[in-house]
């Protein structure tokens, strides 16, 4: 990787960390210049506008989410193991495995909920893609016989995403020490509600 690309990557990583703290709209080239010990003109050479910086940061966040959450799950066998790994990665992402401030997408969803434009459009698509990923993994788990045939993947995705959002607010805003325990308990209950108990047919014979 050339020096210019390395510098650009470092800028984006710093901006990604800052975004969860101050938001995208407060993310300025001047502030970022101070954080990275670069001149504003130096930053401008890489990003011609704040909007270009914002788009690059959001794209990097999507890449990191895939690396931390989605890709490890997809390396697991189809079924419940993949679903559980997906949830583990989701919690790790929110807990700050990559970005200290938590899930940047949840933070930006509040900032851009009523602000039309390119960033909001990309953010909406990110949430849709995440829900689609959960739906696909749950559908595979049904096909593998790990979950009941009548499981509603879209409803499951809705509830699993909701657990993550509750975990974010409980751990970040309310600073609840038991937030992760409660999130995992909620997920276990969600899975148990639709889990195919393959031993149930013989349980009554013992």
User: Among the listed ranges 27-31, 76-80, 87-91, 144-148, which one has the minimum average pLDDT value?
Assistant: 27-31
- Report the C-alpha gap between 196 and 148 in whole angstroms: 5
Q: The pTM is what? A: 0.86
- Report the C-alpha gap between 66 and 130 in whole angstroms: 10
Is the predicted pLDDT of residue 203 greater than 60, yes or no? no
Residue pair 95/113 in contact by the 8 Å Cβ criterion? no
Q: What sign does the CA torsion over 12, 97, 183, 147 have? A: positive
- Report the C-alpha gap between 143 and 1 in whole angstroms: 43
Confidence of residue 9 (pLDDT cuts 50, 70, 90): confident
CA distances to 29, 54, 107, 206 from 18, rounded to whole Å, are 12, 11, 12, 59
Residue 147's DSSP bridge partners are 195
DSSP state for residue 47 in the 8-state scheme: -
- Report the C-alpha gap between 168 and 109 in whole angstroms: 13
Q: What is the pLDDT of residues 185-200, one digit of tens each?
A: 999 999 999 997 755 4
**Residue 195: what pLDDT?**
93
Instruction: Give the right CATH number for 58-196 from 1.25.40.10, 1.10.3720.10, 3.90.1580.10, 1.10.357.10.
Output: 1.10.357.10
Q: What is the pLDDT of residues 63-112, one digit of tens each?
A: 999 999 999 999 999 999 999 999 999 999 999 877 777 888 998 898 89
Cβ burial of 180 (10 Å; 0-12, 13-18, 19+) is middle
**Residue 201: what pLDDT?**
42
Is the predicted pLDDT of residue 7 greater than 70, yes or no? yes
């Amino acid at each position: 990787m050339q020096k210019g690309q390395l510098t650009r990557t470092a800028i984006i990583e710093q901006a990604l960390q800052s975004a969860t703290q101050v938001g995208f709209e407060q993310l300025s080239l001047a502030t970022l210049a101070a954080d990275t010990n670069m001149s504003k003109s130096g930053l401008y050479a890489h990003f011609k506008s704040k909007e270009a910086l914002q788009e690059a940061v959001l794209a990097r966040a999507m890449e990191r989410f895939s690396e931390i959450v989605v890709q490890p799950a997809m390396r697991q066998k189809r079924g419940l193991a993949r679903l559980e790994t997906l949830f583990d990665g989701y919690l790790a992402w929110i807990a700050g495995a990559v970005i200290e401030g938590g899930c940047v997408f949840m933070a930006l969803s509040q900032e851009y909920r009523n602000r039309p434009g390119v960033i909001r459009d990309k953010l909406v698509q990110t949430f849709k893609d995440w829900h689609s990923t959960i739906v696909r993994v749950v559908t595979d788990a049904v096909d593998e016989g790990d979950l009941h045939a009548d499981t509603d993947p879209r409803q499951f995705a809705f509830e699993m995403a909701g657990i993550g959002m509750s975990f974010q607010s409980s751990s970040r805003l309310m600073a609840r020490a038991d937030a992760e325990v409660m999130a995992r308990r909620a997920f276990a209950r969600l899975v148990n509600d639709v889990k195919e108990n393959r031993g149930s047919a013989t349980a009554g014979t013992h």
